[in-house]
Amino acid sequence: MLRLREVASVSKVVLGGRMGRYSNPASVTARLEREVAEYLSADHALAVNSGTSALLAALVGVGIGPGDEVLVPAYTWVSTAAAPLLLGAVPVLVDVDETLTMDVADLERKITSRTRAIVPVHMLNLVADMDAVMAVAQRHGLKVVEDACQAFGVLYRGRRVGTIGHAGAFSFSHTKNISAGEGGMLVTSDAHVAARAQMFHDVGSYTRASWTPTSEPLFIGMNLKMSELPAAVLRPQLKTLERRLSRMRAHRAAMVAEFAQDESIRVSPHHDPENATGLTVVFDNAARAERFATARGVTRLIDTERHVFTNWESVRGKRTYDPRFDPYAGRTAPRDPVSPDRSPRTLDVLRRTCKISVRDDYPTPVIRVAARQMVRTLQSMPQRPADVAPEPRLAESVRS
């Protein structure tokens, strides 16, 4: 439900009658871009109509095109893998570890002579190990586009995710940290990336006065622009986000403290526990995770549809909008870089992990009681024979 401040902000735009950013000299979209750039400490922010559009424009911005390979995690929303394919590049899956983010050892194994970019994803407000990812990228001369669609405003070791790589993409669809139903934002501190993304998101047929100056010739693009209406909804939300995130951090810490009192519940490792807002718990075996999810009404990650690579029907079938457009044409091995048997460790982790909601809008004592009830549920779940033999676990290379 929209709050009063958001209703007032949208009403002002509607009553003014100028709902496209370039028809409004006092564009709220332009203001939102400036506010986002300042909040995240990025030089450039570009408002677009979805997170998928932000990913596309970011990949174009860093120069991804036909024949390139782009490394994406096997656990992410399908858009992360679809975006490179739409540009004629091929996504190559990287396993996630128990942090639910890219396993950097597997990332390095998947690099070939065709690899051009890495897309680490910060799923569920859980941060990827950006120091390690950037070190790999630097060693191999690769571009990094952060998919921070699910983690707007979240911190990784003092920096906001989305601003650490060469470009970052955010989504403002429903359930995101700030939301306008649909919407997205690209951020970068690289003027060349910003200029290319601006051209691509606005048909590229003419130059706007506000664009970043560039010597790059104009090229054809799409129309991915954000209208004034979502921008007006998002601006008031941006103002309260920091308070909400800090409450989420406090609530997560309260839950983790409750869980620490009982060894039957294990919090997933995290790459920056002090700043963490997202929370998942991981079990030694899938059956126990499934029984916990059913008992508590929480979600086991293997059951989250198109966030799991085995459910990316169009990507796995290599079906583009026209069979004549085949990014896989002329490739030697691996001919099937997204086949399920390439990422069995990801499936194992997703089967054993459950998501715990960290609500900022509930009182802290209620959050504590909810955590205690989860512990009690586990204590009352007898070990069954199927639960006893643990499945093979990942070696953990993360600080937790």
Ligand X SMILES: Cc1ncc(COP(=O)(O)O)c(C=O)c1O
- As a whole number of angstroms, the distance between CA 220 and CA 208 comes to 14
Q: Which of 53/285 has CB closer to ligand X?
A: 53
Q: Which is nearer to ligand X, 184 or 291 (CB)?
A: 184
**Helix or strand run (H / E) with residue 188:** strand 184-188
Q: Does 150 bind ligand X (CB under 6 A)?
A: yes
Asked if residue 100 binds ligand X (CB under 6 A), the reply is: no
Shortest CB 168 distance to ligand X, Å: 11
Tokens of 312: 């990316």
Gap between the Cα atoms of 133 and 129, Å rounded: 6
Q: Does 77 bind ligand X (CB under 6 A)?
A: yes
What tokens does 18 get? 């100028």
- Alpha-carbon distance 52 to 2, whole Å? 24
Question: Minimum Å distance from CB 332 to ligand X?
Answer: 29
User: In this chain, which of 9, 76, 188, 227 binds ligand X, going by CB under 6 A?
Assistant: 76
What are the DSSP calls for 219-285, one per residue? ----B-BPPHHHHHHHHHHHHHHHHHHHHHHHHHHHHHHHHHT-TT--BPP-S-GGG---EEEE-SS
Provide the 3-class DSSP secondary structure of residue 70.
strand
Site string for ligand X, 109-148 (x = CB under 6 A): ------------x-------------------------x-
Q: Beta 299-300 vs 279-282: how paired, if at all?
A: unpaired
**Which of 27, 29, 52, 277 forms a contact with ligand X (CB under 6 A)?**
52
Among 9, 99, 171, 237, binds ligand X (CB under 6 A): 171
Contact status: 101 vs ligand X (CB under 6 A): no
Q: Candidates 73-81, 136-144, 274-282, 318-326 — which segment interacts with ligand X by CB under 6 A?
A: 73-81
Report how many residues bind ligand X under the rule CB under 6 A: 14
73 binds ligand X (CB under 6 A): no
* Least distance between ligand X and beta carbon 276 (Å): 18
Residue of this chain nearest to ligand X (CB atom): 51
CB of 345 to ligand X, least distance (A): 19
Residue 277 lies near ligand X (rule: CB under 6 A): no
CB of 393 to ligand X, least distance (A): 25
Task: Kindly state the tokens that stand for 67.
Answer: 């024949």
Q: Which of 9, 27, 29, 80 binds ligand X (CB under 6 A)?
A: 80
Residue 387: C-alpha distances to residues 46, 169, 292 (Å): 49, 40, 12
- Closest distance of CB 51 from ligand X, Å: 2
Residue 264 beta carbon to ligand X: minimum distance, rounded to whole angstroms: 31
User: Binding of ligand X at residue 179 (CB under 6 A)?
Assistant: no
Clarify whether 176 is annotated catalytic: yes
Tell me how far apart the alpha carbons of residues 281 and 370 are, in angstroms, rounded to a whole number: 14
CA–CA distance from 93 to each of 51, 75, 224, 337 (Å)? 20, 9, 27, 7
Q: How far is CA 186 from CA 27, 101, 326, in A?
A: 18, 21, 27
**Residue 184 binds ligand X (CB under 6 A):** yes
Of positions 22, 31, 173, 304, contacts ligand X by CB under 6 A: 173
* Contact partners, residue 346, CB within 8 Å, separation at least 6: 73, 74, 75, 93, 95, 96, 309
Instruction: Quickly count: other Cβ atoms within 10 Å of residue 243's Cβ.
Output: 10
Residue 50 binds ligand X (CB under 6 A): yes
Q: In the Cβ-directed half-sphere of 269, how many Cα atoms lie within 13 Å?
A: 19
User: Candidates 74-82, 125-133, 226-234, 292-300 — which segment interacts with ligand X by CB under 6 A?
Assistant: 74-82
Give first-to-last CA distance, the chain, whole Å: 36
Bridge partners of residue 268, in order along the sequence: none
Q: How far is the CB of 52 from ligand X (least distance, A)?
A: 3
42 versus 224: smaller Cβ distance to ligand X? 224
Q: Please identify which of the residues 110, 143, 176, 355 carries the catalytic annotation.
A: 176
Active-site positions read 176
Applying CB under 6 A, the residues found at the interface with ligand X are 50-52, 76-77, 79-80, 121, 147, 149-150, 171, 173, 184
